[in-house]
A and B are shown apart, each in its own frame.
Chain A
Amino acid sequence: MTLSGTAPGGTASGGSASGGTAFDPATASGYTDHPERMGFFTDTSICIGCKACEVACKEWNAVPEDGLDFTGMSYDNTKSLSADTWRHVAFIEQPRPLGHQEPGLGMDFRWLMASDVCKHCTHAACLDVCPTGSLFRTEYGTVVVQDDVCNGCGYCVPACPYGVIGKRESTGVAAKCTLCYDRLGVGQEPACAKSCPTDSIQFGELTELRERAARRLEQARAAGLDSARLYGHDPDDGVGGTGAFFLLLDEPEVYGLPPDPVVTTRDLPSMWRRAGAAAVVLLAGIAVATWGSRT
């Protein structure tokens, strides 16, 4: 593999909370006096798949309709996150038991539901590669697109290791979850968290959410949910930990999440070095071709 470093994966299931002196993206972006880093802890073990978050998000943010497709694969007709889907509820049926629960079907059965969202990475590739400065880091440590600056180059779309951000057809510019930047500014929690009837989506200060998630993981394990694990909580993972992290009941890829995402710009210094070397080879090669030619 081409990647250097030995970042432990995003699936590490230990409950280590952040150390308090962890890298703070808002401080690193030049904010001096800023609020605590805010984020989401999505506890998928209590998600009931109601999609209230999807609806609340669309309504609050005026996100346009993006096709009323029937997928036929599950109750999920939303499929994935995109420019016009900022919350996506995944549905997975498995012939496995859920803890000690008896489904009463004569077979083991469990239903996994999870509401996915932009991860608001500590090291955000979309923000790094944006050539206009349209994507920026807010004082809350979140990542937001300024749609009046974006020129729709689309670079952020393949840069995102989670497949979150997209280019909106109707406007031609990039769009994604803002963690309800407008609501945060007036002391409100994001629309999805507000609407979640089971509090599967929890909004708050990231340090506190990480502690809460660690407790929740212990509780879930004690209750027989052996497969429970945290995803994105680890500040040492490939994206420096995410502002929106999850408690999952199976491997991340089952939910359509990458098992060990790495911010692509981690390898950028090596890429520039190699491109520089290639440029020298190109100059030298043509020099040899020219001065070595007898005609």
Chain B
Amino acid sequence: MNKHRTKGRRPAGRPAAGDGTPSRTDVRMDEDPGLPAEREATVGSAGGRARHAGQPGGRQGGQPGGQPGGRAAGSPGEPEAESRSYYGLPVLNEPTWKDHDIAGYLFLGGLAGASSILAAAADLTGRPHLARAGKAGALCALGGSLYALIHDLGRPARFLNMLRVFKVTSPMSVGTWILSAYGPQAGLAAATAVTGRFPRLGRAASAGAGLAGAAVATYTAVLVSDTAVPFWHDGHRELPLLFAGSAMASAGGLGMFAAPVAEAGPARNAALLGTALEVAAAQRMERRLGVVAEPLRQGKGRLARLGEGLSVAGALLGATAGRRSRAAAVAAGAALLAGSACTRFGIFHAGLTSARDPRYTVEPQRARLERDRRA
């Protein structure tokens, strides 16, 4: 016998209330012989209703959701036709993450990681200016990332608590360790490149930072996808490629922005390739998600479209006028950086919107249940 007193398991006849009589409100004391029979009554079982009218199609769950979509959810003849909700209130609790911190980190982390890769490649192909720009830029972006991540904590002084555990089930824990591996190497790579000292150590750190940078730039997709936020979670197939493309484009932008035209060939190519990857992944995601991708066209979610436009413009400008004119290269680089930032902010806000409207939580789940029921 468990030591906990669970209701309905009290010994028969034992007073439940202090006055010595069995409590008349304890409807769970089913088998207690001391109780009058009418206590077995079930709500709704008594009353004067002679007829038992067939269930009318009443389907008012409080009021319908914020925006009753009017989408067919059931088969013909079923009363359910639109998604229902509790007074239009969200099912999920909205993320507490601030956009300037976490969307900012999605951008800066991608920029840092991809810049380290580009810098390592520039190192290996004898492009010192491009390498130095990438390494210095990566370190600055990393600094911004760490600031944003710690600033967003409810208890910033406890940020080291992240290092208590390693959990593969927590992308944030994995990310913490990825950053711990990446940070020192990126710092070393930048310091040796800027000062020109310890070149051999610098090359090793640069290669290491490049490899770890690939993880830094892509794990953030898992970070947001591993939530119940409909847009982020359902986008988990395409978000890693989208983030990789956006990161590559921003690193290309930084290279064009900071390195001389003669050395920036890889940056221009990276911008083109990254933008193409980003746009392709985004289109595929939007098509596949259907309703759940709607927040991309609402409010600040629209920043993603703006970001795409800026990236395409920057990449094309860089690949044309940016080959000859330093000014054009700087403008293209700035557009690419702004584009990548806008994309991340847009995706971040689309997630928040999808969490706020119960429709995006309920409708896909209803559709899934319906499919399972038919199967």
B87, B248, B371: the one contacting A282 at CB < 8 Å is B248
Q: Decide if B194 is an interface residue (CB 8 Å cutoff).
A: no
A163, A168, A205: the one contacting B90 at CB < 8 Å is A163
Q: Decide if B338 is an interface residue (CB 8 Å cutoff).
A: no
Name the residue on A nearest B224 (C-beta).
A158
A97, A167, A260: the one contacting B96 at CB < 8 Å is A167
Name the residue on A nearest B359 (C-beta).
A253
Using A255-B86, A260-B368 as known contacts, say yes or no to A129 and B170 having CB atoms under 8 A apart.
Answer: yes
Name the residue on B nearest A100 (C-beta).
B49
Query: Scoring A residues 194 to 226 as 1 if CB is less than 8 Å from chain B, else 0, what string do you get?
Result: 000111001111001000100000011011111
Using A158-B93, A224-B52 as known contacts, say yes or no to A286 and B121 having CB atoms under 8 A apart.
Answer: yes
A6, A152, A199, A222: the one contacting B7 at CB < 8 Å is A199
Query: Scoring B residues 83 to 113 as 1 if CB is less than 8 Å from chain A, else 0, what string do you get?
Result: 1111101111111110000000000000001
Name the residue on A nearest B85 (C-beta).
A253
Q: Decide if B306 is an interface residue (CB 8 Å cutoff).
A: no
Looking at the complex, which of B140-148, B156-164, B185-193, B297-305 is the stretch in contact with chain A? B156-164
> How far apart are the CA atoms of A90 and B326 in the complex, in Å?
63
Count of chain B residues with Cβ under 8 Å from any Cβ of A?
128
| B241, A281: Cβ atoms closer than 8 Å | yes
Count of chain A residues with Cβ under 8 Å from any Cβ of B?
126
Q: Decide if A125 is an interface residue (CB 8 Å cutoff).
A: yes
> How far apart are the CA atoms of A199 and B9 in the complex, in Å?
13
Q: Decide if A95 is an interface residue (CB 8 Å cutoff).
A: yes
Q: Decide if A8 is an interface residue (CB 8 Å cutoff).
A: yes
Residue numbers in B under 8 Å from A267 (CB-CB): 225-226, 233, 236
Query: Scoring A residues 232 to 266 as 1 if CB is less than 8 Å from chain B, else 0, what string do you get?
Result: 00000000000000000011011111111100110
Q: Which 10 A-B pairs have the closest CB atoms?
A: A152-B154, A99-B44, A172-B154, A254-B61, A256-B86, A293-B265, A204-B6, A223-B45, A289-B269, A278-B240
A residues neighboring B (CB under 8 Å):
1-3, 6-9, 11, 35-36, 38, 45-46, 71, 73-74, 79-82, 90, 92-102, 108, 110, 125, 128-134, 149-155, 157-168, 171-174, 184, 187-189, 193, 197-199, 202-205, 208, 212, 219-220, 222-227, 250-251, 253-261, 264-265, 267-268, 270-272, 274-283, 285-295
Knowing that A153-B172, A154-B152, A253-B358 touch, tell me 13 more A-B residue pairs with CB under 8 angstroms: A99-B47, A101-B46, A129-B171, A158-B94, A174-B154, A187-B3, A204-B8, A208-B6, A224-B52, A251-B80, A260-B365, A261-B228, A282-B214
